Structure formats: structure tokens, C-alpha cells
Chain A
């Protein structure tokens, strides 16, 4: 089976000295090596977590996989596309068609209702026709248990409810891959587990691949494949029983 994400020796250096600006930088800016020759492959419909202490490079890595940023060195393929050479516009449309995002701070659009927030990717990014739209929004809202709140605005919801709406928004357009950078960092434990259970349930139903990052050891246990990051290096891979060669 073809890997959904294939990373080969990807390195990310912030403040990297480019050929052109070499002279200017010699004295000043210190370059940070946030990722150092990281390689891994992620199979479709897996439930993967990157863990590591603060500053270990989790966000950096997820940004690279999410086509929001580009590695300084190395090769990166997502859904069979070499994402290194996409333009800004191409990246945007690649993200819109293939990826879903869940953010630590929920990032719902405050002027839109729950229903409209979930509708946003279908309408503004993918141009899905009206009838189909309503069906899919309803199915997603039902999956995360938010149907009865659909006309509320984000500021009328609790954190857990917001993140459930965010999950619905990330999945409504049927992405191949959902990226979640510390999706539970702003939630209490009970809610965090609930949110993760919704993610897992949707993975089971839709066979979407989930990659999330966390520094919370208890949450990590929910993942099926766990990569450990330390100082920008991949230091371990743990596969939960029954998932190997699944």
C-alpha cells in the first residue's frame, strides 16, 4: 500500500542562511535547527501522534506535513504529491482539497454559526452544491453530537463543544488527512478524551488519517502509532498492539 505521507531526511532550519543573504547574516541572526533529518512514513487511515517536550519540533513538523511551510532540506510527499514545489496558491488549493485542520485554540470563525462554520470549507473552498452540502453538514454535526447547537455562535459554546465543531469542520470536506496540533491543550482531561474519541470514531467511519501532536503523556495513549521527537530528531516509534501491519 502506498504511504499517505512520506518524509525523507527533512530538515527545517529557521533563519536559514540562503545563498543570497549570506553576507548580511554572518554576524547576526542565529539559525535554529528545528528538525534534523527526520524520516518516516504514514499509512492511510492510521491514527498517529507526535509527542515530545516543548520546543522539540512538533508544530514545525505538522506545519510541514500540512503544506503550510516548506522544509529547508529533504523530500516530502503528501497524498502522492511532492509538496516542496507548490506555489502559495497551489498549496492553498492542495490543503483545501486534501487536508483538514484542527487547532489548539479551536479557531472557529466568530461571525458564523456552528452550522455555517462547518459549511465554510464546502462553500468557500470546494464549491459543493447546496443539497449535498446540507446532508454532509448534518451528518458531521450528528457525528460530533452538535446538531442541537447548530444555530449558536462560537462564543456561546464551551471549549469542548468548540473543538467538536472544529472536528466537524475539518472532516466535512472528506480530507485524506487531518492534522491537529495540540488539539486538547486547552481542554480539561475529561473533555480531551471525549474529543479524541470523536476523532477516532470518525477515523473508523470515514477512514481518514489523523496526525496529532501533544506533550500530554496520558493523551498520547489514545494514539495507535506514536512518534517521539526530541530536539528536532525522531527518537522512537511505538506501535500499539494489533495495529502493526494492519
Chain B
């Protein structure tokens, strides 16, 4: 049996060392890209998961203008009951929504009877909140009894608990000024200490939403934000667009839009880091392309040059130019393929070893996050396809030169 592919492979084996060196260069490139892509990719999704599942939710709806003023936690920009009911109705009809959680956010004074400081608080329905941001429960480090937040209880941020020497069971007072300027206070029992997380709201305390209404003397419920969790995070962008379009139709009395929708990307500064990682990945892939292109082109130019007389011979005995072209393209392709296959296998094992050795790292105030690099098969496939395509492109020019060679000149070549 004799065919083009076999001849191409035999020609590659002719200079074993050169083939080996070039293939290892490509393999190394593939390994490096795979490692980078999977480590950063896993880091990214882990960080996004941390952020969305422990605090932000996948997306949030506010009254129009709230987010711009969020640093002041403006009570006058809360959603009033009718708006909230409207929104609730819409959300409960969407099949994509796993759960949603209304929050009343406000700032107040926090006193232990010995010391007083400022605090930012979220009033939530504990069951809805825990469904919407499931990792919140795991942030409660020093938890009390049942792990939930009952009325009259407060979850205090870790830093505050430390500096004010608070522990579970202590009594504190929250004092807040409401929209009308009247001041009210209420006693709470500390039932949990919350680990901080990076990002906005990562150091807020939590109380029951009805307590929040109490402190702020709300007769009817007003909501600062609604956090939403989707069943499928992959549908985030589509759903964000759908919901925005749907809510854009909801206007107030002056005909201005009532709601604003933001997903985690516009809520968390980590999004920029995630973007940066994507850009770096792109450049590293570009580098791989350059490595493959140059090394294969180099080998194929050499191969054509060394074999001019052979090319002359096969052309003279009637091999059509197209076949000569395929012969050299196949040779470059096989070289790229060899590099890709070994690179993928090597990359897979290195990543497996990396995962097995459980390397941990810190991010912001979070320590001991274990690095788990997942190989995305799609990534592996894309990288392989890119390398193989580039191998073909790189061998095309030398192969074309070979196929267009004049047999007489080629045969006379010394």
C-alpha cells in the first residue's frame, strides 16, 4: 500500500531529529496554551461563581438611577410596592429564573453599647436570599443554631466582628434614619459572622427584611434591589437582554423608564479582570499561531529545497501538480498533527498532575482557594483545529513552489 499520506510521513521520518524538534516546539506551544487557558478559565469561572453565588446573584434589577447612586444606598430610589409586585409577576413567569430575592439596602449606625460605627445592611427574606445566592450560607463562619436568619437576628461582617470583639449571642443596636428623616433604633442578637468577599457589598451585614421595614418605619414594602439567579448561567446574556427589553416598556407617571437591569458584569469590577484574562488568552493563542506558522514553514521550505531533484523526477514521470502540492501540504499537516496530539496528551497529564497537587492561592481577602484547572474539551478542539489549519497554511507556499517547478530545471539542480 502506497499513498500520499504514507510518502509524506516517510519524508518526515527522513530527518527524525528535525521533525522531532519541530513537533516538540509545537507540542510545547500547545501545552502552554492549554495550561494557560484551563487555569485562567477555571480561575475566572471560580471567581465569577464566588461573586455571583455568595453575594451578587446572576443579575439585579433596580429602580432606574439606583445603581449610579448606590454608594449612598438612597432610600428615595427604592422600588415602591406596585412596581415591585409588577416585577415579581414578570419574574415568576419566566422559566429561566431559578429564584429571586428582594433586598432592602440601607446604611445605619451599629452600636455594641461600648462602641459605635457605621454599617451597611441588607434586609432579606433568608430563604429566598439563600436560594438566590447559595454560597452565602458558607460565608457564615461563626454560625448559630440552625444557620438561618430569624427575625431579630443579624449577620455581622467578619471585620466588624473582629474589631468590635463581637461573638454570636451578643446584643447590638441598629439605628437608622428613614426617608422622612425620622430616626429609629432596634435591638438585634448576633447569630452569625460573615466572611468577607471581594467586590461591592462584600462587607455588608444581613437582617430579616421585616426588621429592615421596622427600622425604616415602612408601612408598605419598598425594595432597593432584586437579585436574580438563573437556572442556566450560560443563558445570562440572552436573558439580560430579554428582561431589559421587557422592562423597558414599564414607565412611571412621567413616562420615564421604571427599572434598570444589570448582570454581574456591570456590577462587579472583577469583570474587567475577566476581560483582561480573555485578552491575554487571545494573545497567547496568537503566539502559538506564530510559532506553528514559522516552524512549519521553515521545515517545509527546507524540505522542498532539499528535494528539488526528487520533485523533478516525479513531475517528469507525470505526477500532476495538484498531487505534488498535496504531498507537501500533507507533510506539513502531519507535522502539525504530531505536535498537536503529543501536546494535547502532555497538556492533559500536566493539568491532571496540577489538579492532584492541589495548589492553592489567595484572592483579595479570600485565602486557600484551591486551583482546579478544568480542561474544556471545546478549547482543546479549537486549539487543535487552529494548529492544524495553520500547519496547512504554512506549508501551502512551499508546496505551491514545488508543484510549479519546471521538471527540467529541477532535474538539473545539483
Q: A93 — which chain B residues lie within 8 A by C-beta? A: 318, 320
Q: B309 — which chain A residues lie within 8 A by C-beta? A: 105, 107
Q: Complex Cα distance A94/B318, Å?
A: 7
Question: Would B316 and A68 count as touching, CB distance under 8 A?
Answer: yes
- CB-CB nearest in chain B for A113: B2
Q: Complex Cα distance A107/B14, Å?
A: 17
Question: Would B11 and A111 count as touching, CB distance under 8 A?
Answer: yes
Say yes or no: A103-B313 contact (C-beta < 8 A), given A63-B408, A111-B7: yes
Q: B310 — which chain A residues lie within 8 A by C-beta? A: 107, 109-110
Question: Would A89 and B321 count as touching, CB distance under 8 A?
Answer: yes
Near B by CB (< 8 A), chain A positions 103-159 give 103, 105, 107, 109-112, 116, 119-121, 123-125
Checking A92, A99, A169 against B315 with a beta-carbon cut-off of 8 angstroms, the contacting residue is A92
Question: Would A89 and B320 count as touching, CB distance under 8 A?
Answer: yes
Question: Would B316 and A124 count as touching, CB distance under 8 A?
Answer: no
Q: B315 — which chain A residues lie within 8 A by C-beta? A: 92
Say yes or no: A68-B407 contact (C-beta < 8 A), given A111-B11, A120-B2, A123-B2: yes
Say yes or no: A123-B408 contact (C-beta < 8 A), given A66-B316, A92-B320, A95-B317: no
Say yes or no for A69: interface residue by CB 8 A criterion: yes
Say yes or no for B323: interface residue by CB 8 A criterion: yes
Least CB distance, B348 to chain A, in whole angstroms? 32
Question: Would A107 and B313 count as touching, CB distance under 8 A?
Answer: yes
Q: Complex Cα distance A111/B155, Å?
A: 77
Q: Which interface residue of B4, B317, B408 has the most chain A CB atoms within 10 A?
A: B317
Checking A95, A105, A111, A119 against B316 with a beta-carbon cut-off of 8 angstroms, the contacting residue is A95
Say yes or no for A96: interface residue by CB 8 A criterion: yes
Least CB distance, A76 to chain B, in whole angstroms? 16
Least CB distance, B322 to chain A, in whole angstroms? 8
Say yes or no for B298: interface residue by CB 8 A criterion: no
Least CB distance, A33 to chain B, in whole angstroms? 18
Q: Complex Cα distance A65/B3, Å?
A: 30
- CB-CB nearest in chain B for A115: B2
Least CB distance, A173 to chain B, in whole angstroms? 8
Say yes or no for A39: interface residue by CB 8 A criterion: no
Question: Would B408 and A68 count as touching, CB distance under 8 A?
Answer: yes
Say yes or no for B319: interface residue by CB 8 A criterion: yes
Q: Complex Cα distance A125/B321, Å?
A: 11
Least CB distance, B312 to chain A, in whole angstroms? 8
Q: Complex Cα distance A169/B319, Å?
A: 13
Question: Would A111 and B10 count as touching, CB distance under 8 A?
Answer: yes
> How many pairs of A and B residues are in contact by the CB < 8 Å rule?
72
Checking B2, B314, B316, B318 against A97 with a beta-carbon cut-off of 8 angstroms, the contacting residue is B318
Question: Would A109 and B314 count as touching, CB distance under 8 A?
Answer: yes
Interface string of B306-334 (1 = CB under 8 A from A): 00011011111111110100000000000
Q: A95 — which chain B residues lie within 8 A by C-beta? A: 316-318
Say yes or no for A239: interface residue by CB 8 A criterion: no
Say yes or no for A101: interface residue by CB 8 A criterion: yes
Q: A68 — which chain B residues lie within 8 A by C-beta? A: 316, 407-408
Say yes or no for A88: interface residue by CB 8 A criterion: yes
Near B by CB (< 8 A), chain A positions 54-112 give 63, 66, 68-69, 88-89, 92-97, 99-101, 103, 105, 107, 109-112
Q: Complex Cα distance A69/B409, Å?
A: 10
Question: Would B317 and A96 count as touching, CB distance under 8 A?
Answer: yes
Question: Would A112 and B10 count as touching, CB distance under 8 A?
Answer: yes
Least CB distance, B196 to chain A, in whole angstroms? 67
Say yes or no for B411: interface residue by CB 8 A criterion: yes
Near A by CB (< 8 A), chain B positions 1-32 give 2-4, 7, 10-11, 13-14
Q: Complex Cα distance A170/B316, Å?
A: 11
Q: B14 — which chain A residues lie within 8 A by C-beta? A: 110-111
Q: Complex Cα distance A245/B318, Å?
A: 33
Q: A116 — which chain B residues lie within 8 A by C-beta? A: 2
Q: Which interface residue of A69, A97, A111, A116 has the most chain B CB atoms within 10 A?
A: A111
Q: A105 — which chain B residues lie within 8 A by C-beta? A: 309
Least CB distance, A109 to chain B, in whole angstroms? 6
Least CB distance, A17 to chain B, in whole angstroms? 20
Question: Would B318 and A96 count as touching, CB distance under 8 A?
Answer: yes
Question: Would A99 and B318 count as touching, CB distance under 8 A?
Answer: yes
Q: Complex Cα distance A123/B323, Å?
A: 11
Q: Complex Cα distance A109/B316, Å?
A: 13
Interface string of B176-199 (1 = CB under 8 A from A): 000000000000000000000000
Q: A63 — which chain B residues lie within 8 A by C-beta? A: 408
Q: B407 — which chain A residues lie within 8 A by C-beta? A: 68
Checking B13, B317, B411 against A121 with a beta-carbon cut-off of 8 angstroms, the contacting residue is B317
Q: Complex Cα distance A107/B323, Å?
A: 19
Q: Complex Cα distance A105/B310, Å?
A: 11
Q: Complex Cα distance A170/B4, Å?
A: 20
Question: Would A125 and B313 count as touching, CB distance under 8 A?
Answer: no
Q: A119 — which chain B residues lie within 8 A by C-beta? A: 2
Q: Chain A interface (Cβ within 8 Å of chain B)?
A: 63, 66, 68-69, 88-89, 92-97, 99-101, 103, 105, 107, 109-112, 116, 119-121, 123-125, 169-170
Instruction: Please list the 6 inter-chain residue pairs (A to B) with the smallest Cβ-Cβ separation, ordered nearest first.
Output: A96-B318, A111-B10, A107-B313, A95-B318, A125-B318, A116-B2
What are 13 inter-chain pairs, A to B, with CB distance below 8 A?
A: A69-B408, A97-B318, A99-B318, A101-B317, A109-B7, A111-B10, A112-B2, A121-B317, A123-B3, A124-B2, A124-B4, A124-B314, A125-B318
Given contacts A92-B318, A93-B318, A170-B317, 19 further A-B contacts (CB under 8 A): A63-B408, A68-B316, A92-B320, A93-B320, A94-B318, A95-B316, A95-B317, A96-B319, A101-B316, A107-B312, A109-B313, A109-B314, A111-B11, A111-B13, A111-B14, A121-B317, A121-B318, A123-B3, A125-B320
